[in-house]
Amino acid sequence: MYDFFAAFSVLELVLFSSWYDFAAVRWPTLRGRRRLGAMKSPLICEGTGEPTKVCAVAIRTNQEGDYASLVVSGSFDLAHAKQVAQAVEKVEEGLSRCRSIDIDLVHLERIDGTGAILLARLLDRLDVEGRNTRVANNQNPEAARLIALYRERRTEHMRPKPSGRNPAARVGAFASEMFGGGTVALDFIGRCAASLPKVIASPKSVDWRSLPRLIQEIGADALLVTSAANLLVGVIIGFLGVSQLGRFGAVAFVPELVVVAHFRELGPLVTAIVVAGRSGAGLASEIATMKVTEEIDALRSLGFDPVRWLVVPRCLALVVTVPLLTWVGDLLALVGGLAATTAITNMTFHAYLQATLDDVTASNLFAGLIKSPFLALAIGLVASGQGLLTHGGAAAVGDRTTTAVVQAIFCVIVISAVFTFFFALIGV
């Protein structure tokens, strides 16, 4: 665990040092080169103390009553960051009774931004705790200035270490965020619903030109993958049916199992999940990218409502294409079931086909297909909503896309379950 925190400290220091590269390079220009004196490089100060062959890192404490002098020696640089962090932590533990602390830099072999940050933060922490600290800068003014630079340019406020988060507070924060997310979702759904009358009143407020492209991307381009998924699900149901029903000599019911299971439940579900993963991610990342590149703001400044311009055509394209993909998927699942069953049983092709045709009823077909537009709408709303909520840069686009896919798949499953429950209630 200790190593983990030390490694984390090193990472933090590397990040701080990259800022220092800027500060150190600018500094000579701003202050005049003479003030830097013997500084050999903007990044590294060579100490004026006695040179040693081995640059071991050490902080020696000379303590007298409540006064301590910290004699720093060795290489306080990026290459020795882990040792420096450990030395600083160790010496800090032994200073609990000291009221006045000096740091002596005379034996310092090397120091760079990393070492200076560690010493600066040690001094900051000691100051916050009410100790008097002082850097003896007359022997090594360059190193003292380097440490002072990081102390001057600190914006974060040093606070005592937190004693651990209150579990009740964490539960409260989680609940608050959860309800906050629900409010945002309801607000977005409300905006979409309110935009529908405006779409009818002003059809040119919708980007109809993008509709063919969207139907191509969401429908035609996804046909192969949704078809393959449905075909394989048909094969799986066929194999499963043969292995389970075959034990009771009921292989003749496998075609009915394939039709009922796939048409009513798995066809719409599998198709919607594949579309949510494929097109949902695409739509969310497209809108999220538009948000971070100010395209959405530009759209609003030109008098367009992003919901009408962007969300309506995307939802419409999904509502049109997902039922078609589901229908094609249903047919291919029958083929998969047929192939699996006839391959491992004595049932003939004609017998399977006849049994299937007997079971393909309007009730089975439409109980599944009627779900598809709702599942498609959920995918469109979730993907578009998450895209429009994006704030920040490229990382935010990735986060929102992931969230959109997860939420879309979850919504698809929930809506499918609600339909199944409803159909069971009304006896369809």
Query: Residue numbers of the site for other proteins (CB under 8 A)?
Result: 29-31, 204-205, 210, 289-290, 293-295, 297-304
- Rg (the chain; Cα; Å): 34
Which lies closer to other proteins via its Cβ, residue 22 or residue 421?
Answer: 22
How many other C-beta atoms lie within 10 A of the C-beta of residue 182? 10
Q: 376: which DSSP letter?
A: H
* Assigned token pair, 387: 């895209």
Which lies closer to other proteins via its Cβ, residue 48 or residue 205?
Answer: 205
Identify the helix (H) or strand (E) that includes residue 310: none
Pairing of strands 67-76, 100-104: parallel
Burial letters for 108-123: b for 16+ Cβ neighbours within 10 Å, e otherwise? Answer: bbbbbbbbbbbbbbbb
How far apart (Å, rounded) are the C-alpha atoms in residues 304 and 300? 5
Which lies closer to other proteins via its Cβ, residue 104 or residue 217?
Answer: 217
Which lies closer to other proteins via its Cβ, residue 95 or residue 383?
Answer: 383
Output the furthest CA–CA distance in the chain (Å, rounded). 101
Q: How far is the CB of 222 from other proteins (least distance, A)?
A: 19
DSSP 29-93: HHH-GGGGTT-SSSS-EEPSS---SS---EEEEEEETTEEEEEEEEEESGGGHHHHHHHHHHHHH
Q: How far is the CB of 285 from other proteins (least distance, A)?
A: 13
Q: 247: which DSSP letter?
A: G
Which lies closer to other proteins via its Cβ, residue 31 or residue 154?
Answer: 31
Q: How far is the CB of 167 from other proteins (least distance, A)?
A: 25
Q: How far is the CB of 282 from other proteins (least distance, A)?
A: 13
Q: 158: which DSSP letter?
A: P
Which lies closer to other proteins via its Cβ, residue 74 or residue 282?
Answer: 282
Which lies closer to other proteins via its Cβ, residue 137 or residue 210?
Answer: 210
How far apart (Å, rounded) are the C-alpha atoms in residues 322 and 339? 25
Q: How far is the CB of 25 from other proteins (least distance, A)?
A: 14
Which lies closer to other proteins via its Cβ, residue 187 or residue 294?
Answer: 294
Coil/strand/helix, residue 102: strand
Pairing of strands 67-76, 58-64: antiparallel
Which lies closer to other proteins via its Cβ, residue 299 or residue 360?
Answer: 299
Q: Taking a C-beta distance cutoff of 8 angstroms, is the pair 118, 88 a contact?
A: yes
Which lies closer to other proteins via its Cβ, residue 30 or residue 168?
Answer: 30
Closest CA to 23 of 42, 3, 51, 48: 42
Q: How far is the CB of 312 from other proteins (least distance, A)?
A: 15
How far apart (Å, rounded) are the C-alpha atoms in residues 63 and 266? 76
How far apart (Å, rounded) are the C-alpha atoms in residues 106 and 395? 45
What are the phi and psi torsion angles at 48 (to 5°)?
Answer: -100, 0
Q: How far is the CB of 199 from other proteins (least distance, A)?
A: 14
* Assigned token pair, 325: 């993909």
Q: Taking a C-beta distance cutoff of 8 angstroms, is the pair 64, 99 a contact?
A: no
Q: How far is the CB of 217 from other proteins (least distance, A)?
A: 12
Q: How far is the CB of 302 from other proteins (least distance, A)?
A: 5
Q: How far is the CB of 121 from other proteins (least distance, A)?
A: 22
